[in-house]
Amino acid sequence: MQNFNQQRIPSLNLNIPTAQAAAYSPVALNAALSASSNATGRTVYVGNLPATASVDELLNLVHFGPLESIRVLPEKSCVFLSFLDGAIAAAFHADATIKKLALHGQELKIGWGKPSPVPAQVALAISQSNASRNVYLGGLEEGMTEEQLRDELSRFGLIDQVKIVRDKNIGFVHFLSISVATKVVNTLPTEPSWAGKRVNFGKDRCAYIPKSQQAAAQQAQAAAAQSLVAQSTMSPQAAFTNFSPYATAPFTPVDMMGGMAGGAAGVQGMNRTVYLGNIHPETTPEDLCNAIRGGVLQSIRYMQDKHIAFVTFVDPAAAFTFFQVASYQGLTLNNRRLKIGWGKNSGPLPPSLALAVHSGATRNVYIGNIEDFETSTDERLKRDFGEYGEIELVNFLKEKNCAFVNFTNISNAIKAIDGIKNKPEYANLRIAHGKDRCANPPRSGPQGGSGGRRTVSNNGPNSAEPVSAVGEDDAEAEAFLNGTDEAHILEQQDMHVDGETHLNGAAA
């Protein structure tokens, strides 16, 4: 077995002592919950490592959540473990400290590394491709050995573990960082020797949790996921403040829910799904989204034949606010007041999706640099993007050479952005997430409208999505959408529905 002073890392030793299998103990869970607002204090220092120990042996003791990177300093006998978020890091730190984590009979020193955010490119790879440091390889030759696979892929970077499942001819290679694994996944398919083989991301083995500890782990991961969602609405300065693992979690709007809601609504707790009933049969998903305000949507599921819909927000506080406003002020669509209730408790946002939202993911896809609207038509976009999931609305801002495709589910929008870039006809276009118009602030007064059905064309010369904007390169478009030019478009569209002016079916 090779040690920390050597570059090559031996394969996995599965004989992990049960007492050292770092599971979510009560103190670890409490630490994770206390760190629920933290996204930058995610690096744990592990020192006093035996010279004979290996990285894979150390990682055998880590079963809390996926790692972003592992930095080895053999001359100092230490390692820095960077998790994807601070809640998981806090759980591991607390558990390792209480259990006095040891390797080869030598107690390890546990501390905190320097706070840092997840690198932007890594966060993007995770949101678009579910990237991890584990690379899955399918269709391997029958004679391929783990040592040969290690030799072949070590050119990309340091490897933690190589494992081949012989009867299926598949392999899993864990690198020491997600960035290196991403490079491998992007590069191998372009090499002739890997033609015809499957290359993708697998699950980080450090995210494996023993069944006996899965319930507690899910609670801690839920806390981490919700912290990412909460931070996506914070100012940049607040999102990157230094983290103290001993500080208490700050107050959030969710803390108010029990006191404000009372009765049945208060029991909902962290529920993010609101039920809408008594919907007019001619109502469309677009109509519903035009009426929903107050938070980014994870999904909207409209069962038109049953005249009901389930609206799932990203943030439970936003769901609660929408529920309260719609219940007490009323929500009317097409001369029908909708019934408002709670749907089945959706539970916390899945950690992978929470990270994507934290990185800017929404159900709205922005397509920029469009030069030919004769080719990029409404029908064309619906056909090309429709293969990734149900579309709620397609509209255009021709003056700025862009269009927007609104899905009914964030996951489908993420898949669309990842997949559409591989199509040659979209290679020169800018594809990114736009803003969800449902995140606009709630209107004052009665919600929705009592007017009849309306007909809206998505292909008029002044069609526009007034709330979609992407990164720094589109600052001009952002200024256009939020400035005086928007008023000019409103005048030209001259579409008034229920006292609210709408652009192409999208409420301003």
Distances from the Cα of 77 to the Cα of 31, 46, 62, 102, angstroms: 26, 9, 18, 14
Describe the strand order of the beta sheet including 496-497 as a list of residue ranges.
Answer: 496-497, 500-503, 506-507
Q: Do domains 18-116 and 122-207 have the same CATH topology?
A: yes
Per-residue pLDDT of the chain (508 residues; tens, 9 = 90+): 345 543 333 322 222 222 223 344 544 555 555 555 554 589 999 999 999 999 999 999 998 889 999 999 999 999 999 999 888 888 888 888 888 899 999 999 999 999 888 998 999 898 888 899 999 999 999 889 999 999 999 999 999 999 999 989 999 999 999 999 999 999 999 999 999 899 999 999 998 765 555 555 555 555 544 544 554 444 333 333 333 333 333 323 333 333 333 333 333 457 899 999 999 999 999 999 999 998 999 999 999 999 999 999 998 888 988 998 888 888 999 999 999 999 998 888 888 888 888 888 999 999 999 988 888 899 999 999 999 999 999 999 999 999 999 999 999 999 999 999 888 889 889 999 999 999 988 765 555 554 343 333 333 323 333 333 333 233 333 322 332 233 222 222 222 222 222 223 333 2
Coil, helix or strand for 323? helix
* Cα separation, 278 vs 420, whole angstroms: 37
> What does the pLDDT read at residue 321?
85
CATH topology of domain 18-116: Alpha-Beta Plaits (3.30.70)
- CB of 318 closer than 8 Å to CB of 254: no
Phi, psi dihedrals of residue 99, rounded to the nearest 5°: -80, -5
Chain centroid, CA 96 distance in Å: 28
Domains of the chain, by residue range, sit at 18-116, 122-207, 269-508
Q: Domain 122-207: give its CATH superfamily.
A: RRM (RNA recognition motif) domain (3.30.70.330)
Is the pTM higher than 0.85?
no
* Cα separation, 161 vs 400, whole angstroms: 49
- CB of 92 closer than 8 Å to CB of 46: no
Class of domain 269-508: alpha beta
What the block records as the tokens of 89 is 């890091």
What the block records as the tokens of 33 is 């919950």
* Cα separation, 8 vs 4, whole angstroms: 9
DSSP 177-242: BHHHHHHHHHHGGGSGGGTT-EEEE---GGG---GGGHHHHHHHHHHHHHHHHHHHTS-HHHHT--
Burial bucket for residue 178 (CB in 10 Å: 0-12, 13-18, 19+): buried
Phi, psi dihedrals of residue 367, rounded to the nearest 5°: -120, 110
What one-character DSSP code corresponds to residue 441? Answer: P
User: Residue 136: CB partners within 8 Å, gap ≥ 6?
Assistant: 170, 171, 172, 198, 199, 200, 201, 202
